Amino acid sequence: MSVGDLLRDELNNPSSQAGAQINACIKEGELVPAHLVVGLIEKAVDLFVNQGKFNFLVDGFPRSQDNWSAWETSELNLRVDIPFALFFECPFDVLEARLLNRGKTSNRADDNLSSIKKRFATFEKESLPVVGMFQQMQKLRAINSNRAADEVWAETRMIFC
């Protein structure tokens, strides 16, 4: 499950009380408050478990120490084991070009140069320390994603096989 997709689904839900706050965070390249993200993940996990699915890959979480702290204090943490974090390493200039290219067709509010630069700054400040935390726990699987997609996919598949 993609946390970004969960956030966009919530943003597009007319009965959502958190939609405006999520929208503001996304446009500014900021992280959505951790309690909202954990709540959306919990709702999605419960939905999947009710469908008989018990293994999850969560894309885009945790992105900050605040996210991790909210996870650790959630009820969901007692039910879910996190064997590792998967981290795709790539230089910012390559990522910027990829995101700007995606922005030509994505219609996403955050696929513009201003938002991308804010997202990179947020990533350096908030997310890299979490990557380091998973590395210290020996629960980090890092992949160089500055290669052809089929090469990255082949290495990613090996981690799960």
Tens digit of each residue's pLDDT (9 = 90 or more) over 75-89: 999 999 999 999 999
Place 27 in a pLDDT band, splitting at 50, 70 and 90: confident
Beta strands in the chain (DSSP E): 85-89, 140-144
Residue 159 burial (C-beta neighbours within 10 Å; 0-12, 13-18, 19+): exposed
Instruction: Confirm if 63 and 7 have CB atoms less than 8 A apart.
Output: no
Structure tokens at 98: 């990829």
Report the predicted TM-score, pTM, of the whole model to 2 decimal places: 0.83
pLDDT of residue 67: 93
Is the confidence at residue 123, as pLDDT, over 90? yes
Where b means 16+ CB within 10 Å and e means fewer, 128-139 reads eebbeebeeeee
Is the confidence at residue 68, as pLDDT, over 90? yes
Mean pLDDT of 40-49: 95
pLDDT of residue 31: 85
Report the mean per-residue pLDDT for the chain. Answer: 93
How far apart, in whole angstroms, are the C-alpha atoms of residue 135 and residue 43?
A: 28
Peptide bond into 91 cis (omega under 30): no
User: How far from the centroid of its chain's Cα atoms is residue 160's Cα?
Assistant: 18
With DSSP H G I counted as helix, E B as strand and the rest as coil, what are the percentages for the chain, rounded to 5?
60, 5, 30
Is the confidence at residue 17, as pLDDT, over 90? no
Torsion angle in degrees (nearest 10) through CA of 28, 29, 30, 32: 100
- Domains in the chain, ordered, with CATH? 3-160 (3.40.50.300)
Instruction: Confirm if 76 and 42 have CB atoms less than 8 A apart.
Output: yes
Q: Which position has the higher pLDDT, 109 or 155?
A: 155
Place 108 in a pLDDT band, splitting at 50, 70 and 90: confident
Mean pLDDT of 117-125: 93
